[in-house]
């Protein structure tokens, strides 16, 4: 009987021990990132040619045996939300490295409805930008530059009302700029440069927070429209824009202006040249015919660089440029200027003016003494004019125009 009791007690103790052990066996670790978000990350990686995912790249670290938001050392390039109400974590940012990923941007990207930033620049993503981008209502940054995207700019982008940065530059997009883009009132940076966009620039004046606008190197035509008044950097270069540039004159906060290589014409107004904060102006390779004189000294102006080469500017060289105190680099070459080089230009050369290009005009006469003396620190060219250049003057290297060319111009100027 005693033996039976001992056996029963032993059995009970064993059962209790097993029960305790079973109670303390941890359950299988479940993902705490939303399953549909994980599926998007998987689809994104699967849409990339595995050969282009090198061992040092962010995508190589995406190991789906771990939770994307919780595991350390994996899933580089993503950020997550961590809700305090014990709901699932969500993907809030994807910022891929420029590793040369070759593939497509999966349409399922539109399922990441908590995403605030998508940046996949400097890779080889190709094909269209998914229309499902329009589902990312919380997006503040969409940065896809330097890829191979083709087709149109998704129309649904105009619904991303929180967007602050939109950069689709250096792709192969070929649509018009969506007219409704002016409703994105949170935009501070808009860059669509180096694509094949066509049509007219839409009315962007409602984008009152925009400080950077780069639409350069496209096929945009029409006139320069009314622009957002708070712009600081404006580039519309390398398009086929025509007409005058007076809309630029109201941009009092502008620091950099590039309108080069278009078909702009007429008068370069002094209001453009005297914008109070502008440091660089490039209006080269257009069809401007006249540069308005600056009527007052410009000691407070910030302009350092003026490039107006390859236009149709004619008449005498603008003496009033010497009144712009900070000006240091001037290029008026390849125009139709005539007459003598002002002595005031000589006084500026080597003091504040470090670069002066006047080649390929119809300038006549002797050089100001400062040009003859040759200032080593100055970059300058006076070639292909009608000047009397002393031998061995380095500024005149390249020779002067022929007598027949100069005689025709002089007859015309008289």
Position 395 scores a pLDDT of 84
- Per-residue pLDDT at 17 exceeds 90: no
**111 with 87: CB under 8 angstroms?**
no
Report which secondary-structure segment, H or E, holds 127. Answer: strand 124-128
In 3D space, the residue among 202, 90, 87, 73 whose CA is nearest the CA of residue 136 turns out to be 90
Using one digit for the tens of pLDDT, what is the confidence trace for 227-241? 999 999 999 999 999
Residues 6+ apart with CB under 8 A from 121: 98, 143, 144, 145, 146, 147, 167
In 3D space, the residue among 104, 71, 108, 78 whose CA is nearest the CA of residue 93 turns out to be 78
- Per-residue pLDDT at 28 exceeds 50: no
Backbone angles phi, psi at 386, to 5 degrees: -120, 35
Using one digit for the tens of pLDDT, what is the confidence trace for 353-399? 999 999 999 999 999 888 877 666 788 899 999 999 887 778 888 88
Q: Rg of the chain's alpha carbons, rounded to an integer? A: 33
**361 with 385: CB under 8 angstroms?**
yes
3-state secondary structure of 198: strand
Mean pLDDT on 236-265: 97
Position 414 scores a pLDDT of 42
- Parallel, antiparallel, or unpaired: how do β-strands 90-95 and 78-81 relate? antiparallel
Alpha-carbon distance 381 to 399, whole Å? Answer: 10
Position 376 scores a pLDDT of 62
- Per-residue pLDDT at 258 exceeds 80: yes
Mean pLDDT on 51-70: 95
Which pair of tokens denotes residue 338?
């005539």
Position 328 scores a pLDDT of 95
Mean pLDDT on 116-122: 98
Position 143 scores a pLDDT of 98
Position 236 scores a pLDDT of 98
**337 with 359: CB under 8 angstroms?**
no
In 3D space, the residue among 346, 353, 342, 397 whose CA is nearest the CA of residue 372 turns out to be 346
CA angle 172, 175, 181 (to 5 degrees): 110
Q: How far is CA 220 from the centre of its chain?
A: 16
pTM: 0.89
- Per-residue pLDDT at 18 exceeds 60: no
**117 with 92: CB under 8 angstroms?**
yes
Higher pLDDT, 220 or 7: 220
Residue 236: CB atoms within 10 A of its CB come to: 27
In 3D space, the residue among 118, 101, 105 whose CA is nearest the CA of residue 150 turns out to be 105
Mean pLDDT of the chain: 90
Percent of the chain with pLDDT over 70: 90
- Per-residue pLDDT at 15 exceeds 50: no
Using one digit for the tens of pLDDT, what is the confidence trace for 162-205? 999 999 999 999 999 999 999 999 999 999 999 999 999 999 99
Mean pLDDT on 154-159: 95
Using one digit for the tens of pLDDT, what is the confidence trace for 346-366? 889 878 999 999 999 999 999
- Per-residue pLDDT at 412 exceeds 50: no
Alpha-carbon distance 262 to 237, whole Å? Answer: 7
Position 409 scores a pLDDT of 63
CA quadruple 260, 265, 267, 271: dihedral sign:
negative
State in Å, rounded, how far the first CA of the chain is from the last one.
140
Percent of the chain with pLDDT over 90: 77
Mean pLDDT on 209-214: 98
DSSP string, 354-384: -EEE--SSEEEEEPPHHHHH--TT-EEE--S
Mean pLDDT on 150-173: 97
């Amino acid at each position: 009987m005693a033996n039976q009791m001992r056996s029963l007690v032993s059995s009970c103790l064993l059962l209790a021990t097993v029960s305790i052990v079973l109670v303390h066996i941890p359950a299988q670790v479940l993902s705490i990132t939303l399953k549909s978000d994980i599926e998007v990350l998987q689809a994104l990686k699967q849409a990339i040619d595995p050969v282009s995912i090198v061992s040092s790249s962010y995508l190589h670290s995406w190991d789906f045996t771990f939770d994307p938001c919780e595991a350390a050392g994996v899933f580089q390039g993503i950020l997550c939300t961590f809700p305090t109400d014990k709901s699932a974590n969500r993907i809030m940012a994807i910022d891929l490295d420029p590793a040369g990923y070759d593939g497509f941007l999966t349409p399922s990207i539109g399922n990441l409805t908590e995403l605030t930033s998508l940046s996949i620049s400097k890779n080889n993503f190709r094909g269209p930008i998914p229309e499902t981008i329009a589902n990312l209502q919380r997006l503040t940054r969409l940065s896809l530059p330097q890829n191979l995207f083709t087709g149109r700019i998704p129309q649904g982008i105009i619904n991303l009302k929180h967007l602050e940065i939109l950069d689709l530059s250096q792709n192969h997009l070929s649509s018009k700029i969506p007219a409704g883009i002016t409703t994105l009132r949170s935009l501070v940076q808009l860059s669509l440069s180096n694509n094949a966009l066509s049509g007219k620039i839409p009315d962007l004046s409602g984008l009152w927070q925009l400080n950077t606008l780069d639409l350069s190197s496209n096929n945009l035509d029409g006139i320069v429209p009314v622009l957002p008044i708070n712009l600081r950097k404006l580039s519309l270069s390398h398009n086929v824009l025509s007409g005058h540039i007076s809309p630029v004159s109201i941009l009092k906060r502008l620091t950099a202006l590039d309108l080069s290589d278009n078909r702009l014409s007429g008068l370069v107004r002094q209001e453009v040249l005297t914008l109070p904060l502008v440091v660089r102006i490039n209006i080269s390779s257009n069809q401007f015919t006249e540069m308005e004189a600056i009527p007052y000294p410009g000691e407070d102006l910030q302009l350092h660089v003026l490039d107006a080469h390859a236009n149709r500017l004619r008449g005498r060289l603008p003496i009033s440029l010497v009144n712009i105190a900070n000006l240091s680099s001037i290029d008026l070459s390849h125009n139709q200027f005539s007459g003598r080089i002002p002595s005031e230009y000589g006084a500026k050369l080597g003091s504040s003016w470090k670069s002066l290009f006047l080649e390929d005009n119809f300038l006549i006469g002797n050089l100001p003494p400062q040009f003859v003396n040759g200032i080593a620190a100055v970059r300058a060219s006076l070639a292909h004019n009608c000047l009397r250049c002393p031998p061995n003057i380095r500024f005149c290297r390249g020779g002067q125009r022929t007598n027949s060319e100069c005689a025709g111009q002089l007859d015309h100027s008289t």
